[in-house]
Amino acid sequence: MTVTLYEVRESPHSRKVRLLAAELGIHLHTVACDPRIGETRSADFLAKNPNGKVPTLEEDGFVLWERRQSSNISPPSTPSAVSAARTPRPGP
Ligand SMILES: N[C@@H](CCC(=O)N[C@@H](CS)C(=O)NCC(=O)O)C(=O)O
């Protein structure tokens, strides 16, 4: 399982996803994607995330964006850390 994080290193939104992944033991392959130089507006990136924003997570072709949504990623013991976040969890 390779989870890729498209990010801006100094972005607090990106940092929160990195911290959560570290806490869960998910190894992230990080790809710098800097809006300040238009990298989030490239055709390739917009095909992944039409909002053109980072952080954006990708695993096996499944793409997840919005930091709050990313906060639902699952530990690596689950079949798919990222796509599991698509399924809402029951509340407390
Ligand atoms: N609501 C988004 C906000 C993400 C966001 O604003 N990211 C900024 C970098 S910190 C960005 O990608 N901006 C590019 C743009 O708006 O074109 C989230 O929580 O993930």
Identify the CATH number of the domain in which residue 23 sits.
Answer: 3.40.30.10
Q: Which residue among 16, 53, 65, 68 is best mutated to probe the pocket of ligand 1, counting the most ligand atoms within 8 A of its Cβ?
A: 53
The pLDDT of residue 6 is 97
- Residue 37: domain span: 13-86
Would you say residue 46 lies in a domain?
A: yes
- Total domains, the chain: 1
Q: Which of 69, 76, 53, 57 is nearest to 5 (CA)?
A: 57
**Residues 7-63 pLDDT 10s:** 999 999 999 999 999 999 999 999 999 999 999 999 999 999 999 999 999 998 899
Contacts of residue 70, defined as CB under 8 A and 6 or more positions apart, other chains included, come to 16, 17, 20, 55, 57, 64, 85
Ligand 1 atom with minimal separation from the 66 CA: 20
Would you say residue 3 lies in a domain?
A: no
> Whole-prediction pTM value?
0.87
| Pairing of β 56-59 and β 62-65 | antiparallel
